[in-house]
């Protein structure tokens, strides 16, 4: 529940802020008539994200055991790469995101409705498709009860509420700190998804060490299992290779993410 809530909150708020920037651009430039067109692009992006999530679930459910292991391992690995890239990307372009979106709208508006729909679609779909893939992979690492779904719904609801409140300027939060902290949390969650990917590849036979466990709590308390898998993504049963890959990923990625930005000093 905790990890899906955080993923939905972080990614949902990013999408909400993007939509808010686009809506504010049209309102302040006296182009409110284009709002329905904008919302058409946003709606298509949301439907496409839901369809992508459904496609992943349907495909996974209809594969053979070996096929599902390879599919789960591959999608989890892709999710980790994509989320890691997006976390660093957001850190790098956060300050210029507003102007970048305005420039895209300036380019799209004179070209007509199709261009505006495309601009709003791609601005939101990037977040939506990434979220669908990451949540699908995260679902695989945690318990199969209803708590992950509850976390997802609560996270999206909180993201929409915060997005509306920020747009209406009824609440102010330090977005820089928010995205930095949630970025760290997403990297930790991605580490758990990566560990799960290694596990699936081990079961498939593509990686060694499936039966070489660091620990294997056969009768682990369900509460502990849910807490571990729902936060850091580490199971009560983990191989040495899983633990090593998890530790290397976290240490390297967090160090790079938290490294201070280099300031270029001119000697002129």
- The confidence score (pLDDT) of residue 268 equals 43
pLDDT band at 45, cuts 50/70/90? very high
Pick 218 or 55 by higher pLDDT: 55
- The confidence score (pLDDT) of residue 252 equals 95
What percent of the chain lies above the pLDDT cut of 70? Answer: 85
Q: Where are the alpha helices (DSSP H) in 113-239?
A: 113-141, 147-167, 175-204, 222-231
**Cβ–Cβ < 8 Å for 135, 9:** no
pLDDT band at 266, cuts 50/70/90? very low
The arithmetic mean of pLDDT across residues 51-79, rounded, is 91
| pLDDT greater than 80 at residue 216 | no
Instruction: Establish how many alpha carbons lie within 13 A of residue 55's alpha carbon, considering only the half-sphere containing its beta carbon.
Output: 10
Write the pLDDT tens digit of every residue in 84-104. Answer: 998 888 887 766 777 877 787
Cα–Cα distance measured from residue 130 to residue 175, given in angstroms and rounded to the nearest whole number: 20
The arithmetic mean of pLDDT across residues 127-137, rounded, is 86
Pick 146 or 113 by higher pLDDT: 113
Distances from the Cα of 72 to the Cαs of 8, 31, 96, 186, 203, in angstroms? Answer: 20, 45, 35, 19, 11
The arithmetic mean of pLDDT across residues 116-137, rounded, is 87
Write the pLDDT tens digit of every residue in 222-258. Answer: 666 666 665 666 777 788 998 899 999 999 999 999 8
| pLDDT greater than 80 at residue 126 | yes
- The confidence score (pLDDT) of residue 254 equals 93
The arithmetic mean of pLDDT across residues 151-178, rounded, is 81
| pLDDT greater than 80 at residue 169 | no
CB atoms within 10 A of CB 231: 17
- The confidence score (pLDDT) of residue 264 equals 44
Q: CA 50, 54, 58 angle in degrees (round to 5)?
A: 175
| pLDDT greater than 50 at residue 183 | yes
| pLDDT greater than 60 at residue 80 | yes
φ, ψ dihedrals at 138, nearest 5° = -65, -35
Contacts of 252 (CB under 8 A, 6+ apart): none
The arithmetic mean of pLDDT across residues 199-216, rounded, is 84
């Amino acid at each position: 529940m905790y990890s899906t809530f955080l993923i939905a909150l972080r990614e949902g708020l990013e999408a909400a802020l993007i939509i808010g920037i686009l809506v504010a651009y049209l309102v302040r430039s006296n182009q409110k008539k284009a709002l329905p067109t904008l919302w058409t692009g946003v709606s298509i992006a949301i439907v496409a994200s839901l369809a992508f999530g459904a496609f992943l679930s349907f495909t996974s459910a209809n594969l053979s055991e070996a096929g599902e292991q390879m599919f789960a391992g591959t999608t989890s690995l892709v999710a980790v790469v994509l989320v890691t890239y997006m976390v660093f990307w957001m850190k790098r372009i956060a300050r210029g995101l507003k102007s970048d979106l305005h420039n895209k709208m300036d380019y799209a508006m004179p070209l007509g409705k199709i261009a505006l729909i495309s601009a709003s679609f791609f601005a939101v779909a990037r977040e939506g498709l990434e979220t669908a893939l990451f949540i699908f992979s995260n679902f695989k690492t945690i318990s199969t009860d209803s708590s992950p779904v509850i976390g997802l719904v609560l996270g999206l609801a909180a993201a929409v509420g915060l997005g509306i409140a920020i747009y209406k300027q009824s609440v102010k939060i330090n977005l820089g700190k928010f995205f930095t902290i949630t970025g760290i949390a997403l990297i930790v969650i991605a580490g758990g998804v990566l560990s799960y990917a290694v596990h699936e590849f081990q079961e498939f036979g593509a990686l060694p060490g499936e039966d070489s466990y660091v620990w294997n709590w056969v009768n682990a308390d369900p509460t502990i299992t849910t807490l571990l898998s729902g936060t850091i993504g580490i199971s009560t049963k983990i191989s040495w290779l899983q633990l090593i890959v998890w530790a290397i990923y976290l240490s390297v990625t967090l160090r790079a993410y938290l490294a201070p930005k280099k300031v270029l000093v001119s000697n002129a």
